[in-house]
Structure 1
């Protein structure tokens, strides 16, 4: 055992013996020994200096408190400051005794504010040790005190912050966020509390998918803080964010640095958490031996320090590792060990242990035992207002019922879980809704599987649609109704879906990638591809493809197709090269995707190439270039069908409603009706310099002379003058967008595949320094676009990667989504960087087609076919897709 762990172990044993030590009034001396052995030199020196004062002040206070309130308050202050020092040094357990002493002294002296502050800090000490039950008890005691009106607001502020922290640790993110919004930063008493607030905000931003905001908040807090322990804790949360983003290298670096800083600062309480995080990284990297070693090290330290909640988390992680390796007996023993500490903490790890045990017993076909564990998990979650915990347990109930062959009961349970889950959404911002949806999207997969097993094909389609683009469609509805209030989202019925196909005279093709969790729940594996075809006649057909038995995952197939096209890894710091090479080997990947996605339903698609087919992709299928998919004879899908795309049928439905409501306005149907309409055309702005990667130096984006030529060629067709070079400033473009009927942006598109809303259109900056919080940095981000109020009938994003972004079950969060949400009725965007020459040709042909062809999907198809004739490589013509009517 390393010497420093031995020190921590002895220190932990000593620090759990307060009641015995307090009885002999030798706490200060014993604590001094514990600190000398268990911590670094800084804490050792602090203990040496404070030990005599601690002993004398306690003895004096206990002897005089009943007769001299002034001296009692002075003694209480000494104890309170002593506790503050321990908290600053990361020794929460050592702070508890002086805080309890201070509470008694303040109470006897009639100082409710002092008692209140001590109780809140006592709550914080227990919270940091993972003892949420005692933390809540101390906070409740504080909340019951009668505080003078002069101090009531500030003290209430501290209670709000502490309550938010406790709820956050217990897994109740929504309640925590609601309470944090009541905290007034200006009333917080010191930097330590402001750091607590920043940590809580960072964690909430992480839970709700606001990763850039979380990193900004935490990095700013770490830079401004001089407290070594707070800086280390913040770094640990930064590691959590990188882990959530899948940036395991950055996460590993953050955790390892946090470990080194914690040891240097004597912050032993942080070690189990940082080791646990490092173990998660190793688990994702499938470095199972490394993961096991750090989990076991973390377990030993947590036991020695009595950090029961963190210990339960570590044991759950270790159990997941064993389950992932197929060592189910070891996993069962480990989860059971975690449950053994349930009397020592209150928190979501208890429910996590129960759910894991239930899952493993279900795998072993011991369904009655599994059901009992799920029932316990549900009861705990319900008692502790953990809505997500209840949903997880209901999902488990359904799996048991499905395994028992009781499909109707399984379906009923899953409908109940979905109702409960969707009730969590009101009041959340758009990106928060998307992230919340991602955490529970498996529910929709489960229910679709159950309904298909029952032969209820149409009901399964309704559920598949119910699980699509919910946040996006709510945004569209809100914009259509011109209201800031939440808009109730009415799920489409099967009759409405059929009516949509009939009114649009369109064949609808909806995909659903069904996933199943791995044994350790560290990942979800593709199981099946469900495909529905809804014809204009109202006929519904269904096919499914087994993905579990395929040698390649869907992600690997898509990566191979991007390699074939030469578009994977293309970035806007280098211009896309013109190419005409496209080999037989390249074609094989596109044929493979055709066999997967189109061949099973080819017989259900319309025979006439003029009849429209609207595709509703799911998850990774948003990256499929459907026009370029090849059948066995080597012809492309675009040669046989007129194609459109939509994130969901609900989105198409809302866009149709918007179009009807705007029918009295000057909507553009064809260019011949748009001569009087206003158009904004941007081509090749003076490019801004932006970092190639997070934290990297700014680099200039490449010049796009072809985009300038494209804008110049299109401008006469639209009867306007283009904004080129220095004239295409972000400020100038913004001013023109609101009144434009047609918007055409021929420039670079920047891709943010993690968050999506940081994706951007490159324009001419009016400032030299890049500041993403300012509107004139030369980057029109997806987040900024969503704040606009557009009336455009057509937006064309003739830039690279404008149709991509963070891929979620709610669609692709990025530029295309943002322009539609801002009011655009139709949108053309791209999946990859297209060479200038081919793009210019395709776009010019597209607008020329629109002069005589009112249907934008037909016009885009003809433009693609014309470009195909001159540039046969799909890279040059297949990137663009249309969302709209």
Structure 2
């Protein structure tokens, strides 16, 4: 089922309207001098005047560097002559030159010099001109309080001069700036003053030619911003275009076409805008006007971007970029780079997006443009969020907030706060998310922006919804809905209607849910939003399913699937087809259900293929699709096809892991072959090849789901046993009676899941067990004190997991049994499960664990690769192969980590017991252990590829501290170049040759439990080429850990079978330390030999 929640982070496009016309400068009036200017040397005066004119010609040709050189030379001459008139003109021109290139600090510096000169000269007219210009440039980059500090004295001067047109112009600027600052009382005051002088304004006495007059009038209308005024502006720009074309004024024709493009674009009239730009481009190319060429290409790129033609937009911006560099338009270059970053992000090219944004940020910082810094940092944060790098996103958004000045644009501040709230929501810190969203809402309320306020309200509603606090969620959604209707945002209205429907679904009020869904559906159909329509159809189908109206539910899901397939949205199709199969299964239409569920699986698999080598996204995607494969197993089992159900179970687990391992195979042909799920014959062959009894578990959920599509109840446990001789047996365990029997003091609908948690707790395990179920953890630890509770829980798990298949397991305790768990069953301490007589499973069997049968096959191939490399030592090339060695690490100087996102880092505790363990094992293996400051991350990374045996006795961390998408890290000593954390994501990129890695640390066998298995350190090590990994399922006391590990290596020196060596070490340790907490934590994943 699809959730329609918003959490809509706002993306900044940052592109200025491509056809914006700079204000046409007024002729600079002759000064009313209070002192007689010095008489200039006529030759030097003539030279300066010529340089001044030359600079204007160079500026018109967009030769900025040449223009600056000419004007600087003229400035020196005018100053040497004491020619203040000439000096003032050049200061204005130099300011204009830098402002044209959006270089604000140098532009402002020249205008400030002009203000000072005008005041010395006592020329209020010129002082007004410079003050007005300073106000304009600061307002253009969002520094509104700074702008106000110039606009207010400009108004005072205009009033002193009794110059009504200047007063009108100053008041217009003050109104716009005050609006940006949200000071609406002051806006009203200025508007009243504006109305009072309106009658005094003289009629137009301009001396501009008709083309420029039409352009100027059109610009004034465009600035007003209303739909009617923009239409009037378009008429003026068209008038200017016709006049310019008739008179052969090519440059003015280009200006008119640029203005037309910008005006049409502002009204959403994309095709006319594009036509205007396309007409202007050849004219600019013919005239060699590089500035206009760049401006036109940027405008075209914006149109392509807004119409979804992303590749074309990127190509067009790429054409503009070298021209902007050539003409040294740094601001334009930064804008285009930022737009290219946004497009690359939309296309999923996140590394390229970050590259573009970093270049844009450097330019914004060099030019002192705080607004662009903020927006670029926001865009970088959004990319990091998409990558799941939440700490990096958090840092970017905080930098964006810090870049804002007190007078910055309210929308920028609100958006940054909203984006920050989104990151908090992603990492489950809902209180912080709520605080950020509420701060954003407060800013938007002051700014009187109902459209954006509506989205802020919806985001707050979604936080309350995620907390299952339905009353305030509903209140915020309803308030959002009212504003969305007010601003006629149909898409937002449809989304919020769906969100309200989800609440009523949760509250078991299906009729109300249907009412809201149907309203959302009508809007989606009216606005021709097929994705929104399909989503709403899925939600409608789900509601009818909960009402047991399976025929209607199937009808809605079928319509949604058809629509999704028509628009090529495989994700929505996967959901719809899966839900269709569920409805058909409930209606006992088993063949139809099988067909629909297979089609759903194919839709998901096509999506996975489109992700290329993006392992993180494949894992996330697999989380969404696991229910499809479980339903398929259920449909096949109901048709008495247990072997086909086994194939479906393998098809639906550890697929991202399988593909990652297959990529490391020697040839592309091997990789392609191995990413196909195994059929029954191949599964039998794997059991025979490994000489192991395979036990695969699958937890089948009841039909009822919550709003997030998660199961509400456990229904059955499917167990397949595949013996080395190829015999396949299928057993089913009914979990429904457990709901009534009450295996725990607190009633629960997921008794098996909670029983696993309670069994671990009764052993004495503390800390995070199921990241996704904090309530189960709390219940699990509530009564774990009694010694008898330990045996009871372990025996209950044995009854459910082992007794149904006990007769199928080998009688020889040295024979291998490989368990293939699923979900929370990965955390089961299989070796410590007890039968009715109190005998532990380790006493009867040699136990291994694997994420899937196919992964087991691929680790075997890794073992063969390593063995082949060892066998080649007689080959002339053997000198290039890594020699056998051991890498032993114990108690490094500990790094510091952040306990939570945004909190200060704290150093991890020292592990003196791990140091003793490492030294003892190093003695056994005749090597030196790396301890303390020696065990740096840099040194470990250098030695890892050559090591044959790796033993790491240090802290193992479960969380995804760096936000890299794969949780888990090994704590090593930091150096100047790194923080000391060797993350699972970094291990994933290595190519290792070790035959065995032992992680003798806290909880290294855990990780984030997903539909793809346990994502963490062990998975990364196996993916990096290690066929055998020993990990711990919980923190073990120092003394028994050292004893067990030392005994394991002694056993391994006697026999090559790692599984048997670990079993014997556990039995020896158990005799000395009988508590399972001390000996049962370690498990072998992958190959035994």
- TM-score normalized by structure 1? 0.81
Q: Distance in 1 between matches of 2:709 and 2:826?
A: 24
Aligned counterpart, 1:391: 574
Relative to structure 1, is the Cα distance of residues 233 and 820 closer, same or farther in structure 2, using a 3 angstrom cutoff? same
Relative to structure 1, is the Cα distance of residues 235 and 517 closer, same or farther in structure 2, using a 3 angstrom cutoff? farther
Q: Aligned with 2:438: secondary structure?
A: helix
Q: Distance in 2 between matches of 1:260 and 1:558?
A: 46
Candidates 719, 727, 730, aligned match of 1:542: 730
Candidates 48, 70, 74, aligned match of 2:212: 70
Alignment of 1:212-611 (within 5 A): 212-225=391-404, 226-342=408-524, 343-344=526-527, 346=529, 348-426=531-609, 427-481=612-666, 489-515=675-701, 516=703, 518=705, 520-521=707-708, 523-527=710-714, 528-547=716-735, 550=739, 551-552=747-748, 553=750, 554-569=752-767, 583-611=787-815
Residue 284 of structure 1 contacts residue 522 of structure 1 at CA under 8 Å; is this kept in 2?
A: no
Q: Aligned with 1:340: secondary structure?
A: helix
Matched, 1:693 2:900: yes
Relative to structure 1, is the Cα distance of residues 736 and 37 closer, same or farther in structure 2, using a 3 angstrom cutoff? closer
Candidates 846, 849, 857, aligned match of 2:1059: 857
Aligned counterpart, 1:86: none
Matched, 1:177 2:347: yes
Residue 448 of structure 1 contacts residue 460 of structure 1 at CA under 8 Å; is this kept in 2?
A: yes
Q: Distance in 2 between matches of 1:345 and 1:765?
A: 56
Residue 663 of structure 2 contacts residue 671 of structure 2 at CA under 8 Å; is this kept in 1?
A: yes
Q: Distance in 2 between matches of 1:204 and 1:379?
A: 32
Relative to structure 1, is the Cα distance of residues 406 and 749 closer, same or farther in structure 2, using a 3 angstrom cutoff? same
More moved, 695-704 vs 377-386: 377-386
Q: Distance in 2 between matches of 1:547 and 1:166?
A: 51
Relative to structure 1, is the Cα distance of residues 729 and 333 closer, same or farther in structure 2, using a 3 angstrom cutoff? same
More moved, 72-81 vs 221-230: 72-81
Aligned counterpart, 2:8: none
More moved, 788-797 vs 559-568: 559-568
Aligned counterpart, 1:89: none
Relative to structure 1, is the Cα distance of residues 158 and 348 closer, same or farther in structure 2, using a 3 angstrom cutoff? same
Q: Distance in 1 between matches of 2:303 and 2:667?
A: 38
Deviation at 1:779, TM superposition (A): 1.0
Residue 422 of structure 2 contacts residue 433 of structure 2 at CA under 8 Å; is this kept in 1?
A: yes
Deviation at 1:633, TM superposition (A): 2.0
Deviation at 1:118, TM superposition (A): 5.5
Alignment of 1:705-744 (within 5 A): 705-744=912-951
Q: Deviations over 1:709-752 (max 9, x none)?
A: 11111112222111111111111111111111111111111111
Q: Distance in 2 between matches of 1:777 and 1:797?
A: 20
Q: Distance in 2 between matches of 1:862 and 1:820?
A: 24
Residue 613 of structure 1 contacts residue 641 of structure 1 at CA under 8 Å; is this kept in 2?
A: yes
Deviation at 1:290, TM superposition (A): 2.6
Q: Is the helix fraction higher in 1 or 2? A: 2
How many residues in Structure 1 have an aligned counterpart in Structure 2? 805
Matched, 1:633 2:837: yes
Deviation at 1:139, TM superposition (A): 9.2
Deviation at 1:375, TM superposition (A): 3.8
Residue 377 of structure 2 contacts residue 396 of structure 2 at CA under 8 Å; is this kept in 1?
A: yes
Matched, 1:704 2:911: yes
Aligned counterpart, 1:88: none
Aligned counterpart, 1:3: none
Q: Aligned with 1:455: secondary structure?
A: coil
Residue 320 of structure 1 contacts residue 521 of structure 1 at CA under 8 Å; is this kept in 2?
A: no
Q: Distance in 1 between matches of 2:1064 and 2:191?
A: 83
Matched, 1:776 2:964: no
Q: Distance in 1 between matches of 2:913 and 2:954?
A: 10
Aligned counterpart, 2:889: 682
Aligned counterpart, 1:813: 1015
Q: Distance in 1 between matches of 2:1056 and 2:1085?
A: 15
Aligned counterpart, 1:618: 822
More moved, 462-471 vs 755-764: 755-764
Aligned counterpart, 2:994: 792
Residue 832 of structure 2 contacts residue 842 of structure 2 at CA under 8 Å; is this kept in 1?
A: yes
Relative to structure 1, is the Cα distance of residues 609 and 814 closer, same or farther in structure 2, using a 3 angstrom cutoff? same
Q: Deviations over 1:555-609 (max 9, x none)?
A: 43333233223322289xxxxxxxx998112222222322332232222221221
Residue 862 of structure 2 contacts residue 1026 of structure 2 at CA under 8 Å; is this kept in 1?
A: no
Q: Aligned with 2:793: secondary structure?
A: helix
**RMSD between aligned alpha carbons?**
4.1
Residue 163 of structure 1 contacts residue 176 of structure 1 at CA under 8 Å; is this kept in 2?
A: no
Matched, 1:760 2:760: no
Residue 891 of structure 2 contacts residue 911 of structure 2 at CA under 8 Å; is this kept in 1?
A: yes
Aligned counterpart, 1:576: none
Relative to structure 1, is the Cα distance of residues 438 and 102 closer, same or farther in structure 2, using a 3 angstrom cutoff? farther
Q: Distance in 2 between matches of 1:505 and 1:166?
A: 54
Relative to structure 1, is the Cα distance of residues 715 and 319 closer, same or farther in structure 2, using a 3 angstrom cutoff? same
Q: Aligned with 2:923: secondary structure?
A: coil
Deviation at 1:38, TM superposition (A): 12
Q: Deviations over 1:87-119 (max 9, x none)?
A: xxxxxxx7x666666666656645455555556
Deviation at 1:501, TM superposition (A): 0.6
- Structure 2 residues not aligned, in runs of 5+: 1-171, 242-253, 286-292, 312-341, 740-746, 770-783, 873-880
Aligned counterpart, 2:1049: 847
Deviation at 1:191, TM superposition (A): 7.2
Q: Deviations over 1:852-885 (max 9, x none)?
A: 1111011111111111111222222222111121
Residue 949 of structure 2 contacts residue 996 of structure 2 at CA under 8 Å; is this kept in 1?
A: yes
Matched, 1:42 2:183: yes
Residue 178 of structure 2 contacts residue 187 of structure 2 at CA under 8 Å; is this kept in 1?
A: no
Relative to structure 1, is the Cα distance of residues 312 and 848 closer, same or farther in structure 2, using a 3 angstrom cutoff? same
Deviation at 1:506, TM superposition (A): 0.5
Q: Distance in 2 between matches of 1:200 and 1:139?
A: 26
More moved, 272-281 vs 354-363: 272-281
Relative to structure 1, is the Cα distance of residues 706 and 390 closer, same or farther in structure 2, using a 3 angstrom cutoff? same
Residue 377 of structure 1 contacts residue 393 of structure 1 at CA under 8 Å; is this kept in 2?
A: yes
Q: Deviations over 1:752-808 (max 9, x none)?
A: 1696624211111123xxxxxxx5211111111112111111111111121111111
Aligned counterpart, 2:1024: 822
Q: Aligned with 2:1015: secondary structure?
A: strand
Residue 181 of structure 2 contacts residue 410 of structure 2 at CA under 8 Å; is this kept in 1?
A: no
- Structure 1 residues not aligned, in runs of 5+: 1-30, 84-93, 124-133, 572-579, 669-673, 768-774
Q: Aligned with 2:663: secondary structure?
A: helix
Q: Aligned with 1:845: secondary structure?
A: helix
Larger Rg: 2
More moved, 561-570 vs 335-344: 561-570
Residue 956 of structure 2 contacts residue 1003 of structure 2 at CA under 8 Å; is this kept in 1?
A: yes
Q: Aligned with 2:941: secondary structure?
A: helix
Q: Aligned with 1:480: secondary structure?
A: coil
